[in-house]
Structure 1
Amino acid sequence: MLTIEKNLLNITDIYYEPVVKTLPRGVELLMQFPDATLHEVESHWKIPHLHGFEGSAEHWNQIKRNILIIGVKKSVSTRPNTRSSNFVAPSLANGCTMSCIYCYVPRRKGYANPITVFANIEQILRHIERHAAKQGVKTEPDQIDPEYWVYDIGENSDCSVDALLSNNVKDTIELFKRLPNAKATFATKYVNNDMLSYDPRGKARIRFSLMPAGISKILDVRTSPISERIAAINNFVDAGWEVHINFSPVVFYENWIKDYKLLLQEIDDTLHEKAKQQLKSEVIFLTHNDKLHEVNLQWHPKGESYIWHPEIQETKYSQTGGRNLRYKRNLKAELVDAFRTLLAAQLPYCEIRYIF
C-alpha cells in the first residue's frame, strides 16, 4: 500500500471508465480507496461536474485533493520534442493535485483538473519499448543527452505525486532500466522519498523545479517547500538518479535578482560535490494565459499580482488559438542575459541546457 499525505490527497470520490475494472492497475486503484464513492462515467474527458469547472473556482483545491479519475489512455503515441527531451512519451496520468497558478495543464481539462491515472499501463509501456527499439543507437550527442534518447514521461502531470497513487511511474522506470538506448525524464515540484528506492541506475533524470522561496509560497500552491526540494537533490543523486534543475517559471518582479542570488547560494551551500558535478539546468521564463488569469482571480488574486502584467507582456497565440502572454521581446532578452550572468557567477559548474 502506497503512503499518501492526507493534506495533499484525501480521495473521497472516484470517477472511472467501465473498462478500468478489467485492468489490473485499475482494480488496484479501486481497491486502494475502499471508502471512496464510485461514479462510473463514459469517458474521463466527459464528466459534467468536472469538465469545464472554471465556473467553480472556489472549490479549486478541494477538487484537486478529494477527486481521483481512473481512465484509459486512448491515443497511445509518442511525439518528437526538442528541449527537455527527444520525445514525449504517452502520458501515465493527466492533471495534478498541486495548484501552481501558472500551470498550463489545467486549461486542457476543466481547469481544476484533478489527477486522472491511466490504467492501461501495460499498453503504454509496450508502445514505449517498441518506439525506443526503432530509434536504434543515438550516434550524435545533443544538448538533451550525450548518449541516450530521452523520453519525457510527465508532460501533463507530476510523476512524483502520481507515484503516490499507483506504480505506473515505478513500472516505467523499470522499463527504461532495461532499454539500452533510452532514459526517462520528468520535472517535479514534490519530493517523494519513496522514489529513492527505485534504483534507476542513471536511466532516469528528475528535474526539480525551483524558484525563490518567497514567491514559491505564493505561486507554487500545495507543493514541497523549496529548501526541501534542494535538499532532496543530494539524496536522489546518491540513489542513482540523474538530477537537473528546472528554473521554471522565472518571474520578473521587484528584487527578483536579489531573491535568485539567495536561491543560488542555498543550492551551492547544500549540494555535495557528486551532485554538483552532474548538475545541469533549464531556464523557462513565465508564460501566462488570459482565461487562466480570470479563473485565478476567483481563488488566488494575490498570485495574479505577480504574474499578470500586460504592460510588460505581449500576446502569443497558441496553436489552439489560446491567448498567452509572455514578457515583451526586448525586456525578455535583458532578463535572459541577467539570469545567464547570475548563474555563471554563482553556479559556474551548472551548465544551462536551454533558456527561453
Structure 2
Amino acid sequence: MEFDRLLQIRRIYAQPAALELPRGREIVARWPDADVVPVENHWNIPDVHGDETNVPRWSRIKTEALVLGVKKSLTVKPNGRSADFIAPSTANGCAMACAYCYVPRHKGYSNPVTVFANIDQIARAVERHANRQGIKLEPNQCDPELWVYDIGENSDCSVDALISDNVEELVTLFRELPNAKLSFATKFINPAMLEWNHGGHTRIRFSLMPADLAKTVDARTSPMAVRMAAINDFVEAGYEVHVNFSPVIITDTWLTDWEELLRQLDAALTPAAKEQLAAEVIFLTHNEQLHEVNLGWHPQAENVLWRPDLQESKTSSNGFNNVRYRSRAKAAYVRQLTALIQDVAPYCRIRYAF
C-alpha cells in the first residue's frame, strides 16, 4: 500500500503541548509502537534537523519520523497568485522527497511531516478571516466568485490526510463558508478523499511534469499516469480540479517532453474534466544550499536542477539567494510552453505563467 511505503513511523517527536490536545493524542494512538520523544521546539530537533550526517538518511527520516507541534502564528497572508490568501499551515514538511522542494531550505536536513495539533485554533482563525472578507465583489484570476485560501503551502495535504483529520476538518469548514473555498496542490493520490463531503468548495491542483523527468526529481510521489487518471475521478466526485505544470525544468528535450505530457493528458481527460480545467505554469527556482544538500543524497537530480549555464541568482521576497533561469531566456521559454498548451489543450485556461 502507498501508505505503508510512505509512512512507517517509529519515532514521534512531540511538543508536550501537542500531546495535551485531542489531535496529538489521536496521532500517537495510531502508532502505538512508536517511541514518543519530547521536544521543546518542533523546528529544532537535532536528530532530524541541522546535522549533515543525516543527509544520506534523507528518505529514511521522512519514512520513520513524525513531529507533533503547536502552530504559534495563525496569520492569514495575502497571496493573489495561486490563491487570494495563504492560510496558517496545519502541517509542515512532507513524506515525499521532491529534489527541488524549498521546505528543506528553511527546516534543515530532511523534512519529515510536522503535524500541528491545534487544528481548532487554526480553523477558527481562518473562519474569522473569511467572515471579515464579506462577499467577493470583483472577480480575479484566483476565482470569479469566492475567496480562495491555499491550505497547503508547506506540505502536501493528500499525504497529511493519511496522518490525521486536519485536512478533512478544513474541507468541512469551507463547505459551510458561503464566500470562500480552499485549495491545495498535490503529487499524491489519496482515494479516501473521493468520499469527503466538500460541497464544491475545494479546489485540488494536481502537479504534473514529463514522466521520465519526474522519475528523477519527484521521488516517492504518485506516478504521473496515476495523477492524470485521478483528475477524472475527482471531477466526478464534484471537486474543482486544476493542474500545476510545475516545476518546468529546462533540458535538451524539454519542449518535446512537455508536448508528450500534454498529449497524454488530453487523451486521459473526460469532457467534464476538460471543461473545468485551468493551469498554473511555474518554472524551476533552485537554491545553492539545497543543491549542496542534494549532492549528498540524490546527485542525479542536480544534473538537471543545477544549471549555471542557464541560471542566474535572484534574491527572493523572503531574502533567500535563489537561482532561476535567466530572465530573457525564461521569457522565451514561457512563450514557447504557453503556446504549446494552447495548441495541444486549448480548453486549458492558463491562470498564470512565470
Residue pair 1:54, 1:112 contacting (<8 A) in 2 also = no
Give the gaps of 5 or more residues in structure 1: none
- Out of 284, 288, 298, the residue aligned to residue 286 of structure 2 is 288
Query: Per-residue displacement from partner, 1:315-338 (whole Å, max 9, x unpaired)?
Result: 011244422100001110110010
User: Partners of 1:329 and 1:29 in 2: how far apart?
Assistant: 46
State the secondary structure of the residue aligned to 2:329. Answer: helix
| RMSD between superposed Cα atoms in Å | 1.0
- TM-score normalised by length of structure 2: 0.98
- 2:211 counterpart of 1:208: no
- Out of 89, 103, 106, the residue aligned to residue 105 of structure 1 is 103
Residue pair 1:100, 1:219 contacting (<8 A) in 2 also = yes
Write the mapping of 1:1-356 to structure 2, written as runs, cut at 5 A. Answer: 5-356=3-354
State the secondary structure of the residue aligned to 1:76. Answer: coil
State the secondary structure of the residue aligned to 2:89. Answer: coil
User: Partners of 1:44 and 1:282 in 2: how far apart?
Assistant: 32
Paired AA for residue 44 in structure 2 = K
Give the gaps of 5 or more residues in structure 2: none
State the secondary structure of the residue aligned to 2:6. Answer: coil
State the secondary structure of the residue aligned to 2:72. Answer: coil
State the secondary structure of the residue aligned to 2:205. Answer: strand
User: Partners of 2:182 and 2:35 in 1: how far apart?
Assistant: 35
Query: Per-residue displacement from partner, 1:78-118 (whole Å, max 9, x unpaired)?
Result: 01001100000000100001110001012111230100000
Residue pair 1:92, 1:153 contacting (<8 A) in 2 also = yes
Residue pair 2:243, 2:278 contacting (<8 A) in 1 also = yes
User: Partners of 2:264 and 2:2 in 1: how far apart?
Assistant: 29
Identity of aligned residues (%): 55
User: Partners of 2:124 and 2:318 in 1: how far apart?
Assistant: 30
TM-fit CA distance, 1:4:
6.4
Residue pair 2:280, 2:351 contacting (<8 A) in 1 also = yes
Paired AA for residue 271 in structure 2 = E
User: Partners of 1:83 and 1:12 in 2: how far apart?
Assistant: 38
TM-fit CA distance, 1:301:
0.9
User: Partners of 1:70 and 1:251 in 2: how far apart?
Assistant: 34
Residue pair 2:205, 2:243 contacting (<8 A) in 1 also = yes
State the secondary structure of the residue aligned to 2:56. Answer: helix
- When the two structures are aligned, how many residues end up with a matched partner? 354
